[in-house]
Structure 1
Amino acid sequence: MVEHLLAAESTGVNTTVLSGGLLIALPIALLAGLVSFFSPCVLPLVPGYLSYVTGVSGADLAEARRGRMVAGASLFILGFTAVFVSTGALFGQFGQVFQGENKEIITRVMGVLVILLGLFFMGWIPGLTMREFRFHKKPTAGLLGAPVLGVLFGIGWTPCMGPTLAAVGTLSINEATAGRGALLTAVYCLGLGVPFILAAVAFRKALGAFGWVKKHYAWVMRIGGGMLILTGLLLVTGMWFSIVGEMQTWTNGFTVGI
């Protein structure tokens, strides 16, 4: 599905690689991925995920072979990246089909949605987002089951990951191409996945860093929610278009069909 959409995009007129919109959206997607990883819905489960995808018990993780740890984490990341990038491509295609002359109105509506997601993320609007949806039936532990577990991780919902990923999805719709939507969600996966790799490479040190983050969860949620609210305000007020127009003048020389 993703390959078909990207192929269709490449046959069209070349567009700017780093358009003004992407220059703003890519750092937001990266930060959203990092915030998701360090949120209380993901960070405490990292040792459990690493144990499961490597087939090594939690007590033995610190002594496990680094190559096996990195392989398991990488396969796990590959699983949820396939889910998220496919979704981002579909959202981008949706935006291309339905925006047209209504782009500005749709962008402002999405801005309101992103503001609400930010408030949800900070816990100021309790309700549906406070619930979790996870698949409790897990695949075989070890490297073979790692990508499957990643897929199950990707199609679940948690109050910490759901709002940030949905916000990246709205930005994918705003970019209005499958290629750009896939790129945005790939960068989100980079922010979410790289810390998994670092934790696999240096597990003992990672545990120390995780302990510090756990003491500051409130700030993680405030930073993530504040970023979403600010993004939503830019979309609602139209300042997003002004910034995009200004940045567009910097990138006119870089073109590719995405």
Structure 2
Amino acid sequence: MNDVGVFFALAGGVLSFFSPCVFPLLPAYITHLTGGRIEDAKIQVNRTKLYTRSIGFIIGFSLIFIALGASASFIGKALANYRIIIMQFAGLLIIVFGLQMAGLLKFKFLMREKRIQAEHGSKNIFSSVLLGMAFAAGWSPCVGLALSSILLLAGSSETLSQGVFLLAAYSLGMAIPFFFISIVLSYSLKAMRKINRFLPKLAFVNGMIMVMLGFLVLSGQMQKISAWLASYNLFF
């Protein structure tokens, strides 16, 4: 499952970053991280500070996600005798989460939001790591659905390392656009305005990807596809 699941996890991380819950808040995160300010249609900030603080922030949220993946895998491994049932239940939940993300379902209990606000800006790379951890812990609902789907996939994985790898891929999917778009915004905010127009469509795409993932897990096709790809040496 790991071979195919990693692509879903990576895609889920990228699309989570571009969710309506996270992307519009990017300038606020950057100014909070770096102490910069928005002026002349761009974020005025020391770019060396932007690079180091962004890396610290990425490390912070990645640590939390990977720890969650390890925990989910450990629980799943402890319940190995019920793995088939867990996979089917996980598949159903992932489908529901995907439909919610796509806007085709409107369950209010899945729309609850909890955010942790840091009172002070980041002073150094270590406080940036802590801020990244707080960001991951206080997650907004639409991204939480994608994250929960990947955690369910990790919980139904065969080994602990697979679960960790899945959440590492999810973190990487968020980290890459976060780092590069943060740099772009230090030159101009125009790109952000253009991307904002496509956020609802990206949320729908994210939801449909999760629905596809859910059906693969529910039907047991994830393992078959991974085995087939492995037989042709399409993965290392």
Q: Same fold by TM-score, threshold 0.5 exceeded? A: yes
2:115 to 117, 127, 134: 134
- Give 1:69's aligned amino acid: L
- Give 1:160's aligned amino acid: C
Confirm or deny that 1:79 pairs with 2:60: yes
2:2 to 15, 22, 27: 22
Alignment length, in residue pairs? 233
The whole-number CA distance in structure 1 between the counterparts of 2:29 and 2:200 is: 23
Task: Give yes or no for contact 2:43–2:188 (8 Å, CA) kept in 1.
Answer: no
Task: Give yes or no for contact 1:164–1:228 (8 Å, CA) kept in 2.
Answer: yes
**Which range moves more in the overlay, 242-251 or 116-125?**
242-251
The whole-number CA distance in structure 1 between the counterparts of 2:91 and 2:196 is: 30
- The unaligned stretches of length 5 or more in structure 1 are 1-20
The whole-number CA distance in structure 1 between the counterparts of 2:233 and 2:71 is: 26
CA deviation profile, 1:11-42 (whole Å, cap 9, x unmatched)? xxxxxxxxxx1121011011101111101100
CA deviation profile, 1:56-98 (whole Å, cap 9, x unmatched)? 2233863422211111111111111111111101111111111
Q: Which residue of 2 aligns with 1:148?
A: 130
Identity of aligned residues (%): 28
Confirm or deny that 1:92 pairs with 2:96: no
The whole-number CA distance in structure 2 between the counterparts of 1:199 and 1:252 is: 31
CA deviation profile, 1:133-165 (whole Å, cap 9, x unmatched)? 011343443335311211111111312210110
The whole-number CA distance in structure 2 between the counterparts of 1:227 and 1:253 is: 21
The whole-number CA distance in structure 1 between the counterparts of 2:193 and 2:118 is: 29
The whole-number CA distance in structure 1 between the counterparts of 2:34 and 2:198 is: 29
Normalising by structure 2, report the TM-score.
0.90
Task: Give yes or no for contact 1:199–1:206 (8 Å, CA) kept in 2.
Answer: no
Normalising by structure 1, report the TM-score.
0.83
Task: Give yes or no for contact 1:84–1:185 (8 Å, CA) kept in 2.
Answer: yes
Q: Which residue of 1 aligns with 2:189?
A: 207
Task: Give yes or no for contact 2:122–2:128 (8 Å, CA) kept in 1.
Answer: yes
The whole-number CA distance in structure 2 between the counterparts of 1:163 and 1:206 is: 31
